[in-house]
Amino acid sequence: MYNEINQTEKTRLKRMPKRGDFDRETINSILDEAFICHVGFIANGHPFVIPTAYGRVGDDLFIHGSAASRMMQSLADGIDVCVTVTLIDGLVLARSAFHHSINYRSIVIMGNAEIVTGDEEKTKALEAFTEHLIPGRWDDVRKPTAAELKATTVLRLPITEASAKIRTGDPIDDEEDYSIPVWAGVLPLAIKAGEPIDDARLDPSIEPQAYVQRYKRF
């Protein structure tokens, strides 16, 4: 079923609105494929944008960090936050320098984060972070201890005020430039996993799990 997130004054696209997408399934798919979000906020009168890992559970985005982190302390107070995620799909090479571009999928989420206090929910969020990186890993590793949970702040940001912006397709040249004899088109880009590299202290008898050896990012 088509589930569209309502547009707001903050998320309504003013430039290239035809590239906008408010479908929750589209937004979730971009969040699930990317690894890093950038968290923008103001603390003590100064703007900050911090890259960090995240996890998604349903319609909520979770970020975590040290309890001593300035970002986590600031966001835990309920201040306004802007989270962005971007995936690069290709370089768009036009016949003119002016019309070069990038094919991309991006997300902007606005709102106010709230702190997660219960150990059970914090553990579920940390599971989401781990599974977001590599599905299947959570079941094989040691779970967080009480001390680790206490040292970690987890914040929930509801994905209720959000928009996607997507560019796909060929370069768009001026009509008179199509006769210029230079190659034009799209150079696709993608994340590709290499061969697993053993930890220096790994027991040599231990082989990487199948989800490591066959890892592929969407």
pLDDT per position as a tens digit, 106-135? 999 999 999 998 999 999 999 999 999 999
Q: Is the pLDDT of residue 1 over 50?
A: no
Read off the pLDDT of each residue in 187-207 and give the average, rounded to a whole number.
96
Q: Fill in the amino acid letter for 212.
A: V
**Under CATH, which number does the domain 17-213 receive?**
2.30.110.10
pLDDT-derived band at 5 (thresholds 50, 70, 90) equals confident
What is this structure's pTM? 0.90
Residue whose pair of structure tokens reads 């929910």 in the numeric block: 121
What DSSP state is assigned to residue 72? H
Q: Fill in the amino acid letter for 62.
A: F
What DSSP state is assigned to residue 176? G
What DSSP state is assigned to residue 15? S
Where do the structural domains in the chain lie, given as residue ranges? 17-213
What DSSP state is assigned to residue 200? T
Tokens coding 21: 């997408």
